[in-house]
Structure 1
Amino acid sequence: MVPSTALALGALPARLIVLPGVYRPQTDTWLLAQALSHEEMGAATDVLDIGTGTGALALSAARTGAHVAAVDVSWRAVVTARLNSFRQRLPLRVMHGDFANRTRGRRFDIVLANPPYVPSARPRPPTRGVARAWDAGPDGRAVVDRLCVQAPALLRPGGVLLMVHSAMCGPESTTDRLKAAGLTAQVTARAVVPWGPVLRARRTWLQSRGLADDGDEHEELVIIRAELL
Structure 2
Amino acid sequence: MGVVVTMVVTVTMVMTVTMVMTVTMVMTVTMIMSMTVFMAMIIHMTLTVTMVMIIHMTLTMTMAMVMTMFVPVCTKMAKFMLMIMAISAPLSMIVAGCTRKYKSERKHRCGVDLNDIVVVQAKKSANAFDSNENHCHDYEHVYEPSDDTYLLVDTLHAEKALLDSLRPKLALEIGTGSGCVSTALAKLLKVPPAMFMLDINPIAASVASRTAAHNGVITADALVSDLDSALALHHKVDVLIFNPPYVVTPSEEITESLIARSWAGGKDGREVLDRLLPRIADLLSPTGIFYVIAILENKPEDICERLRNFGLSSAEVLTQRRAKNELLMVIRASKFESIADGDLGQAKST
TM-score by length of 1: 0.81
Classify the secondary structure of the residue corresponding to 1:226: strand
Q: CA 1:43/1:186 → structure 2, altered by over 3 Å: closer, same or farther?
A: closer
The more displaced of 136-145 and 185-194 is 136-145
Partner of 2:56: none
Partner of 2:323: 193
Deviations for 1:157-180, whole angstroms, at most 9, x for unmatched residues?
A: 121000011111100110010010
Classify the secondary structure of the residue corresponding to 2:151: helix
Deviations for 1:5-62, whole angstroms, at most 9, x for unmatched residues?
A: x998434721002222111111111111122220413865311011111110111122
Q: Is the 8 A contact 1:35 1:162 kept in 2?
A: no
Q: Is the 8 A contact 1:8 1:33 kept in 2?
A: no
Q: CA 1:96/1:26 → structure 2, altered by over 3 Å: closer, same or farther?
A: same
Partner of 1:24: 144
Partner of 1:159: 288
TM-score by length of 2: 0.54
Structure with bigger helix share is 2
Q: Structure 1: 5+ residue runs without aligned partners?
A: 1-5, 195-217
Structure with bigger strand share is 1
Q: Is the 8 A contact 2:174 2:228 kept in 1?
A: no
> Number of paired residues?
202
Match for residue 266 of structure 2 among 137, 141, 147:
137
Match for residue 73 of structure 1 among 182, 193, 200:
200
Q: Is the 8 A contact 1:47 1:108 kept in 2?
A: yes
Give, in whole Å, the separation in 1 of the partners of 2:250 and 2:311. 32
Match for residue 224 of structure 1 among 316, 328, 331:
331
Give, in whole Å, the separation in 1 of the partners of 2:168 and 2:317. 27
Q: Is the 8 A contact 1:12 1:33 kept in 2?
A: no
Partner of 2:182: 58
Q: CA 1:142/1:10 → structure 2, altered by over 3 Å: closer, same or farther?
A: same
Q: Is the 8 A contact 2:168 2:238 kept in 1?
A: no
Q: CA 1:8/1:147 → structure 2, altered by over 3 Å: closer, same or farther?
A: farther
Classify the secondary structure of the residue corresponding to 2:266: coil
Match for residue 40 of structure 1 among 129, 149, 163:
163
Q: Is the 8 A contact 1:8 1:31 kept in 2?
A: no
Computing the radius of gyration from Cα coordinates, the structure with the larger value is 2
Partner of 1:111: 240
Deviations for 1:108-165, whole angstroms, at most 9, x for unmatched residues?
A: 1110110101010234621633111000112210122122111011100121000011
RMSD: 2.2
